[in-house]
């Protein structure tokens, strides 16, 4: 089961709290935004289980 991202909350934090421009906000990676928001626990390396889940959710079928 995938958790939906709280886009409104992320945009509020980036555009209002951090005072980023929209261009700056959308160019950030999720890891960069988490670091700027002080959420360093989100900076874990991707494990095999996470990679497997991503590969299942976004297969490379037909992309050769």
The answer to whether 40 and 34 are in contact (CB under 8 A) is yes
Residue 63 within any structural domain of the chain: no
Q: What does the pLDDT average to over 5-29?
A: 93
SS3 state of residue 11 = helix
Domain span at 28:
7-57
The share of the chain scoring above pLDDT 90, in percent, equals 45
Count of domains forming the chain? 1
Residue 41 within any structural domain of the chain: yes
Indicate the helix (H) or strand (E) that contains 51. helix 48-57
Residue 2 within any structural domain of the chain: no
Residue 33 within any structural domain of the chain: yes
* CA gap 58, 22 in Å, rounded: 27
In this structure, how many other beta carbons lie within 10 angstroms of the beta carbon of residue 34? 16
Say what the pLDDT of residue 12 is: 94
């Amino acid at each position: 089961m995938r958790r939906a991202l709280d886009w409104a909350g992320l945009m509020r934090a980036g555009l209002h709290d951090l005072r980023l421009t929209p261009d700056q906000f959308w160019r950030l990676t999720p890891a960069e935004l988490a670091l700027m928001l002080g959420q360093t626990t989100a900076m874990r390396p991707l494990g095999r289980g996470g990679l497997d889940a991503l590969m299942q959710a976004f297969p490379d079928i037909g992309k050769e």
